[in-house]
Amino acid sequence: MNFAGTFLPVTTPFDKVTGDVDVVAFRSNLRRWFEHPISGILIAGSTGESVFLDEAERVTLLEAAADVVPEGKIVIMGTGSEATRHTIHLTRQAAEFGADAVLVSPPAYFKGAMSPAVLARHYKAVADASPVPVLIYQVPLRLSTLDLPTGLVEDLSQHPNIVGIKDSRGKLELVGELVEHSADDFQVLVGSGALLYGALETGAVGGIVAVGLLAAAEAAEISVAHAEGRTADAGRVQERIAPIHQEIVGGMGVPGVKAALDMLGLYGGPPRPPLEPSPPGRIDEIRRLLGTAELLREASLTPP
């Protein structure tokens, strides 16, 4: 499976009254995003508030996506869990309901016990049992997670069903390290929307970037332009949208992304508690940032 290009880690819309997954809004957002040449989507990633979703909701999202995802586009499902057994269960369930691949975050609750050998056994067991290709998820280190050693990833890259990694640490030198030390057919994707162009230059095949939720055309263009040899164009677009990743995606997290989606005419809506919506001061800052990046063209650079 070819993971080249730009993927979007889609948000999970929740009904403002009931708090349930809003399937209509989810499909509407997907239709808008797939107007642009993205390679696919990730459901139930960090930006999708995966830790707040139950199993039935994950199935609901996959079934909803099946109705609108264009042919030839890839659907990845986040299936990481703390127990190997449960991760395998979620992975098989994702495959059953239409996921083309899975993204597996490392078990991190018993952090001190998660040696490279333990993690290797975990990932290989999941990959052995998975009906679809497995991507490793190096979760952003600002979250409660593990920093996976390059040697571990190099070992796992030899497994025939572990096909790549999403690296969200936000450091180009570490992306290059993974590219250099992993198997030749192992695909490295970056998770930082500020580094997509640099990662492609370093040897990554693409990215799963939340900034693309707010700038789908631009994030897709970085991958397309780079593939076509228009590196200057790719670099210019990257420079324009990098602050959106740094200030909104990285700086404000899910509440900031959802508030920005509302401003852009997509459905953001509330995050699921205990996360709280962005406060009024941040709403003004989000509006300013989107305007500066020419994403909210009707917005003034100062709050109305």
Give strand ranges (E) for the chain: 5-9, 40-43, 74-78, 101-104, 134-138, 162-167, 187-190, 206-208
3-state secondary structure of 148: coil
188 vs 200: CA distance, rounded Å = 9
- The pLDDT score that the predictor gives to residue 298 is 45
- 100 lies in a domain? yes
Using CA atoms, how far residue 26 sits from 29, 149, 245, 287, in Å, is 5, 36, 22, 23
Buried b (16+ CB within 10 A) or exposed e, 131-140: ebbbbbbbbb
- The pLDDT score that the predictor gives to residue 268 is 98
For the annotated catalytic residues, the residue numbers are: 166
Structure tokens at 165: 């990694």
- What Rg value do the Cα atoms of the chain yield, rounded? 18
- 220 lies in a domain? yes
Question: Which H, E and C letters describe 179-230, residue by residue?
Answer: HHHCCCCCEEEECCCCCHHHHHHHCCCEEECCHHHHCHHHHHHHHHHHHCCC
- 256 lies in a domain? no
Which domain CATH number covers 237? 3.20.20.70
- 227 lies in a domain? yes
- 32 lies in a domain? yes
- 294 lies in a domain? no
- The pLDDT score that the predictor gives to residue 303 is 36
**CA dihedral defined by 119, 120, 121, 123, rounded to 10 degrees?**
80
- 144 lies in a domain? yes
Length of the chain counted residue by residue: 304
The residue segments making up the domain with residue 156 are: 5-241
Residues of the chain scoring pLDDT < 70: 297-304
Of 209, 210, 3, which is closest to residue 100 (Cα–Cα)? Answer: 3
How many separate domains does the chain show?
A: 1
Contact 287, 279 (CB under 8 A): no
Contact 167, 135 (CB under 8 A): no
- The pLDDT score that the predictor gives to residue 143 is 86
- 259 lies in a domain? no
